[in-house]
Amino acid sequence: MRQTISSVNFATGRDSVDFVHGWLNYQIEHHLWPDLSMLSYQKAQPLVASICKKYRVPYAKESVFRRLVKTVDIAVGNTSMRRFPSAYHQKEDMA
């Protein structure tokens, strides 16, 4: 759940878009399975999104330009990074 909540995908699902992004647009799937092949991310994405929807786990998808603006805002100190929601913490995960 941490990998899904703490990441975001860009536009996905079209070979031309995926190629231009170098398949880096599948950040959620990459953080779930870092050793999976790039083409397998494309196959896994709809399944991951449907599982997240079924269990009400946030699955973020935003444009690369919106993410760039957010990254710059964090880098220059206009905002801070999003925190992992405390509602999702498991007692056994707490140090």
Where does the pLDDT of residue 92 fall: very low under 50, low under 70, confident under 90, or very high at 90 and above?
low
**How would residue 84 be classed by pLDDT, with cut points 50, 70 and 90?**
low
Q: For 41-67, what is each residue's pLDDT tens digit? A: 989 999 999 999 999 998 988 888 888
Rounded-to-integer distance, Cα 6 and Cα 3, Å: 5
Q: Which pLDDT does position 95 carry in this prediction? A: 56
pLDDT of residue 30: 92
Pick from 65, 69, 74, 81: nearest CA to 11: 65
Q: Name the pLDDT band for 28 (thresholds 50, 70, 90).
A: very high
Phi-psi region for residue 63, left (φ > 0), alpha (ψ -120 to 50) or beta?
beta
> Is the confidence at residue 94, as pLDDT, over 70?
no
Share of the chain above pLDDT 90, in %: 27
